[in-house]
């Protein structure tokens, strides 16, 4: 929760504690699914034409009608973010070589192992009425597949930011103004399985951290796809309105 609350202020979308691709492949526009605890679980993709789509291992809801999202409604920006640490606004200084300073008792940082590509929908009149018409059947579909969720837990993906590798961390301490240090070579976190963050007064701090994905040493940089979702944008149904 600290990780999401701290980094959402950066304006890139909802921070993912689980950037790894869900079952059925990497996150796509028009994915319908469940977002809980920083992880995304796909139910199906709303642009699918049939149940044979590999992105829909659970099949499709009853009376499913796909949504059409032509290319002119999609904004695609390669290398949208540089290969630099992304930290909470309470952070005063970030040093790629291994340190940051914070003025408060909590903070978060995401370190991409590549530049980040951004894809999102332009503002469109097509999506809100489509969600309003179908979200009840999506919720029923989730229940039929064994998920214990509310209607408000169902989301429709309309954007994301992806990288090839990542290291993420959230921390909280009992005091203020701490020096935080991290180790790991950007672009090689996963292959080296080496990323760590520490606080000066470790006895009074709580640190949560992850890095990935795990790759074999034989993989070349050129072959590594940007399929790890660092930030996610989505619509979800709330009483009387769509957020």
Report the pLDDT value the prediction gives residue 192, as an integer from 0 to 100.
Answer: 44
Q: Which class for 73: exposed (0-12), middle (13-18), buried (19 or more C-beta within 10 A)?
A: middle
Selection from 176, 53, 165, 174 nearest residue 110 by Cα: 165
**Number of domains present in the structure of the chain:** 1
- What is the pLDDT tens value at each position of the chain, 243 positions in all? 889 999 999 999 999 999 999 888 899 999 999 999 999 999 999 998 766 667 788 999 999 999 999 999 999 999 999 998 898 766 555 555 555 555 567 788 899 999 999 999 999 999 999 999 999 999 999 999 999 999 999 999 999 999 999 999 888 876 655 566 665 555 544 444 445 555 555 545 678 889 998 776 666 666 689 999 999 999 998 755 544
Tallying the residues shown for the chain, one arrives at 243
| Residue 45 CB partners (closer than 8 Å, separation 6+) | 28, 30, 31, 32, 53, 55, 56
Do residues 227 and 190 touch, judged by C-beta distance below 8 A? no
d(CA 173, CA 235): 33
d(CA 95, CA 87): 11
d(CA 212, CA 210): 7
d(CA 210, CA 61): 34
**15 phi/psi in degrees, rounded to 5:** -65, 140
d(CA 189, CA 193): 6
**222 phi/psi in degrees, rounded to 5:** -65, -25
Domain carrying residue 138? 2-242
Do residues 197 and 171 touch, judged by C-beta distance below 8 A? yes
């Amino acid at each position: 929760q600290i990780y999401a609350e701290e980094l959402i202020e950066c304006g890139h979308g909802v921070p993912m504690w689980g950037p790894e691709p869900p079952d059925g492949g990497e996150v796509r526009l028009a994915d319908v699914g469940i977002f809980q605890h920083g992880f995304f679980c796909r139910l199906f993709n709303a642009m699918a034409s049939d149940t044979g789509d590999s992105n829909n291992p659970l099949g499709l809801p009853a009376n499913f009608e796909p949504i059409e999202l032509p290319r002119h409604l999609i904004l695609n920006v390669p290398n949208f973010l540089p290969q630099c640490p992304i930290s909470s606004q309470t952070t005063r200084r970030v040093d790629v070589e291994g340190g940051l300073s914070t003025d408060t008792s909590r903070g978060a940082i995401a370190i991409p192992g590549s530049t980040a590509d951004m894809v999102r929908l332009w503002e469109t009149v097509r999506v809100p009425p489509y969600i309003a018409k179908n979200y009840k059947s999506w919720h029923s579909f989730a229940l039929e597949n064994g998920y214990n969720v509310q209607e408000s837990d169902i989301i429709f993906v309309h954007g994301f930011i992806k990288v090839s590798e990542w290291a993420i961390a959230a921390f909280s301490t009992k005091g203020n103004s701490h020096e935080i240090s991290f180790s790991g070579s950007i672009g090689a976190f996963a292959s080296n399985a080496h990323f760590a963050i520490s606080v000066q007064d470790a006895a009074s701090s709580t640190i949560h951290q992850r890095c990935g994905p795990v790759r074999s040493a034989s993989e070349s940089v050129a072959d590594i796809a940007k399929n790890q979702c660092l930030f996610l944008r989505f619509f979800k149904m709330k009483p009387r309105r769509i957020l």
